[in-house]
C-alpha cells in the first residue's frame, strides 16, 4: 500500500464478490429486440454476483521505527519546502487525469512534547488505497478529497506548562492552515500535571459550569472541578475550536458573577469539599454531564428491543441555543491506548463525558486515578500513601477499586481504565509516518461518518 514506516500486523477484512456465469436464452416478447439481437448475442454468457466472501487477514510489515516528532534543523527548512514542492509537482503531473486539487505545502511542527500536522483523508493508508483504485479505474468519476476536509492532528506526550503552550500554538497554526476538525492523540501519554490537563480540556468546553472531574479525599471531602475554575487562570486562552468568539465563556462568567472580576484581581471562591452534589448544583450551577457525544446528541441508543438501534430525539425550543453552540463546534476525536494514564485519562473523560468529542478511538486506558504522597523513611526508603482519588464527570472510578469487579449498568468486568467508543488495537505501535497509522485512519473514518471530512 506504499505506506512508509508502518508498524505491526494490522487486521483487515477483505470483501470479495462471488460470481457465477449465466447464459440467457434470449426469449423475449419484444419483436424489435429479436430482430436486432443476433443468435450469438442472445446466448452470450454474463456474470452475476451471487454474494460476497469475507476474509480477515493480517498484513506483516517490515519497519518497527518508533514515533519520532518533527525536529527541524537549521538551514533545512527552505530546502525541505523546495523538495516538498517538487515532490508535489511530480505527483500532480502523474495524477492530472484525476482532476486533483491544487498542491499544498505540508503543515507540520512541534517538538518532543507536542507534535502537530495537517492531514487529509488522502494522507492515510485508506486514502492511498482509494487513490490507487481511482488510478487503476480510468473511467471512475471519483476524485480525491479537497482541502476543505483537512484535519488537524495534535499529539500530546505529557501534560505540563510546556504542553499547554504547545497545544494552544498547535491549534492556532492548524486553524490558520484550514483545519476543519481535529484528532488529539494521547496514546502513550503517561499523564503529568492534572491542572494542566484540565486547563487544556476547559478550552474546549462552552459551558463554564461543566464538571471536568471530582476529587474525593480520605476525610470524606468531595470536590467538583469545573471549567470556571480554570477560566480565572491568566494563561486561559479562551474557548477554542469553535466559530464562536474566544471570549464567550469568560463573558458568560462575568455576566453571572460580576464581582468575580475586580480591578485589583480575580476574586474566585473554590467550591466546598463537604457539600452534597445537590447543594453544589444549586449554589454553583454545576451541570451534570450528558454522556452523549455532542455531535450525536439528537440520537440515543434504543436498548428496549433485542436488537439495539438508534432513534431520533426531537429537539425542543429550549435546546435551540445549545444546538447552535454544538453546530459551531469543530468535531474532535481522541486517540487512546494502554499507555494513556493518569491526567491523560481524565483529559479524555472530561471531554467525552461532557459530549464534546465525536468518539474515543483506541484501546482501554491504563487506569490510574489515585493521588499519592511519598513520605521519607529513616532508613532512606519511602512510603507512598494514597490520600485522594479522582473521579470522572460521570462519577466513575478510573482505578480498579476493591471488589467492584462488574459494572452495575452493563454487567461488564471492571478492571480499571476507560473503554473507547471505537476499538483499535495498539499492538502496531505508533509509526513515524502518521499517514500509515491504522488508528489515525479509523479516526478519520469516524470524522467522515460525522459528516466533516
Is the per-residue pLDDT at 79 higher than 60?
A: no
Q: Supply the pLDDT for residue 286.
A: 79
Q: How confident is the model over 180-199, as a mean pLDDT?
A: 95
| 111 CB-near residues (< 8 Å, 6+ apart) | 69, 70, 71, 166
Tens digit of pLDDT for each residue in 286-314?
Answer: 776 754 444 444 433 343 443 333 344 44
Highest mean pLDDT among 38-47, 54-63, 131-140, 332-341: 332-341
Tens digit of pLDDT for each residue in 314-372?
Answer: 445 446 777 888 889 999 999 999 999 999 999 999 999 999 999 999 999 999 998 88
For the record, the C-alpha cell of 368 comes out as 490510574
Considering only residues 336 and 94, tell me which one the structure prediction assigns the higher pLDDT.
Answer: 336
Place 14 in a pLDDT band, splitting at 50, 70 and 90: low
Q: Supply the pLDDT for residue 274.
A: 67
Owner of C-alpha cell 442472445:
42
Q: How confident is the model over 214-228, as a mean pLDDT?
A: 87
How far apart are the two ends of the chain, measured CA to CA in Å? 22
CA distance 284 to 269: 10
Place 96 in a pLDDT band, splitting at 50, 70 and 90: very low
Instruction: Give DSSP secondary structure letters for 174-206.
Output: HHHTT--EEEEE-TT---B-HHHHHHHHHTT-S
Q: Supply the pLDDT for residue 84.
A: 46
Is the per-residue pLDDT at 189 higher than 50?
A: yes
Q: How confident is the model over 117-136, as a mean pLDDT?
A: 63
Is the per-residue pLDDT at 146 higher than 50?
A: no
Lowest mean pLDDT among 14-23, 164-173, 325-334, 368-377: 14-23
Place 127 in a pLDDT band, splitting at 50, 70 and 90: low
Place 453 in a pLDDT band, splitting at 50, 70 and 90: very low
Q: Give the mean pLDDT of the chain.
A: 74
State the pTM of this model: 0.70
Tens digit of pLDDT for each residue in 380-433?
Answer: 999 988 888 999 999 888 987 665 566 666 666 667 899 999 999 877 778 888
Task: Identify whether the C-beta of residue 450 lies closer than 8 Å to the C-beta of residue 329.
Answer: no
Q: How confident is the model over 90-95, as a mean pLDDT?
A: 48
Q: How confident is the model over 176-189, as a mean pLDDT?
A: 96
Q: How confident is the model over 184-197, as a mean pLDDT?
A: 95
- Neighbour order of strands in the sheet with 382-391: 222-226, 211-217, 382-391, 370-376
Task: Identify whether the C-beta of residue 167 lies closer than 8 Å to the C-beta of residue 111.
Answer: no
Place 10 in a pLDDT band, splitting at 50, 70 and 90: low
Amino acid at each position: 500500500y506504499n505506506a512508509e514506516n508502518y508498524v505491526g500486523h494490522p487486521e483487515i477484512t477483505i470483501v470479495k464478490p462471488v460470481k457465477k456465469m449465466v447464459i440467457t436464452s434470449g426469449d423475449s416478447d419484444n419483436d424489435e429486440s429479436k430482430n436486432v439481437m443476433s443468435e450469438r448475442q442472445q446466448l452470450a454468457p454474463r456474470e452475476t454476483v451471487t454474494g460476497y466472501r469475507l476474509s480477515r487477514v493480517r498484513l506483516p510489515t517490515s519497519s518497527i521505527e518508533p514515533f519520532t516528532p518533527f525536529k527541524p534543523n537549521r538551514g533545512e527548512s527552505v530546502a525541505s519546502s523546495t523538495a516538498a514542492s517538487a515532490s508535489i509537482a511530480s505527483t500532480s503531473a502523474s495524477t492530472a487525469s484525476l482532476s486533483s486539487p491544487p498542491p499544498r505545502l505540508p503543515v507540520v511542527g512541534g517538538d518532543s512534547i507536542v507534535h502537530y500536522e495537517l492531514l487529509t483523508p488522502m494522507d492515510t493508508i485508506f486514502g492511498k488505497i482509494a487513490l490507487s483504485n481511482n488510478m487503476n479505474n480510468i473511467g471512475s468519476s471519483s476524485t480525491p478529497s479537497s482541502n476543505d476536509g483537512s484535519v488537524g492532528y495534535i499529539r500530546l506526550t505529557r501534560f505540563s506548562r510546556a504542553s499547554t503552550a504547545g497545544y494552544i500554538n498547535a491549534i492556532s497554526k492548524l486553524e490558520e492552515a484550514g483545519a476543519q476538525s481535529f484528532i488529539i492523540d494521547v496514546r502513550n501519554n503517561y499523564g503529568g500535571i492534572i491542572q494542566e490537563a484540565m486547563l487544556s480540556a476547559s478550552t474546549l468546553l462552552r459551558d463554564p459550569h461543566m464538571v471536568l472531574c471530582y476529587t474525593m479525599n480520605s476525610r470524606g471531602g468531595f470536590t467538583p472541578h469545573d471549567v470556571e475554575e480554570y477560566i480565572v487562570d491568566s494563561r486561559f486562552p479562551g474557548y477554542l475550536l469553535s466559530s464562536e468568539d474566544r471570549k464567550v465563556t469568560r463573558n458568560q462568567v462575568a455576566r453571572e458573577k460580576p464581582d468575580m472580576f475586580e480591578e485589583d484581581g480575580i476574586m474566585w471562591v473554590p467550591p466546598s469539599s463537604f457539600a452534597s452534589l445537590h447543594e453544589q448544583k444549586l449554589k454553583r450551577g454545576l451541570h451534570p454531564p450528558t454522556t452523549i457525544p455532542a455531535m450525536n446528541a439528537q440520537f440515543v441508543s434504543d436498548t428496549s428491543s433485542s436488537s439495539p438501534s438508534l432513534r431520533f430525539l426531537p429537539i425542543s425550543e429550549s435546546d435551540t441555543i445549545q444546538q447552535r453552540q454544538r453546530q459551531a463546534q469543530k468535531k474532535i476525536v481522541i486517540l487512546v491506548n494502554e499507555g494513556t494514564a493518569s491526567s491523560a485519562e481524565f483529559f479524555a473523560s472530561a471531554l467525552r463525558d461532557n459530549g464534546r468529542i465525536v468518539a474515543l478511538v483506541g484501546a482501554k486506558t491504563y487506569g490510574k486515578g489515585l493521588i499519592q504522597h511519598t513520605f521519607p523513611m529513616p532508613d532512606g526508603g519511602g512510603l507512598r500513601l494514597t490520600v485522594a482519588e479522582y473521579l470522572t464527570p460521570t462519577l466513575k472510578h478510573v482505578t480498579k477499586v476493591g471488589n467492584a469487579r462488574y459494572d452495575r449498568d452493563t454487567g461488564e468486568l471492571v478492571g480499571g481504565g476507560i473503554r473507547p467508543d471505537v476499538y483499535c488495537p495498539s499492538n502496531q505501535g505508533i509509526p513515524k509516518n502518521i499517514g500509515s497509522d491504522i488508528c489515525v485512519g479509523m479516526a478519520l473514518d469516524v470524522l467522515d461518518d460525522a459528516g466533516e471530512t
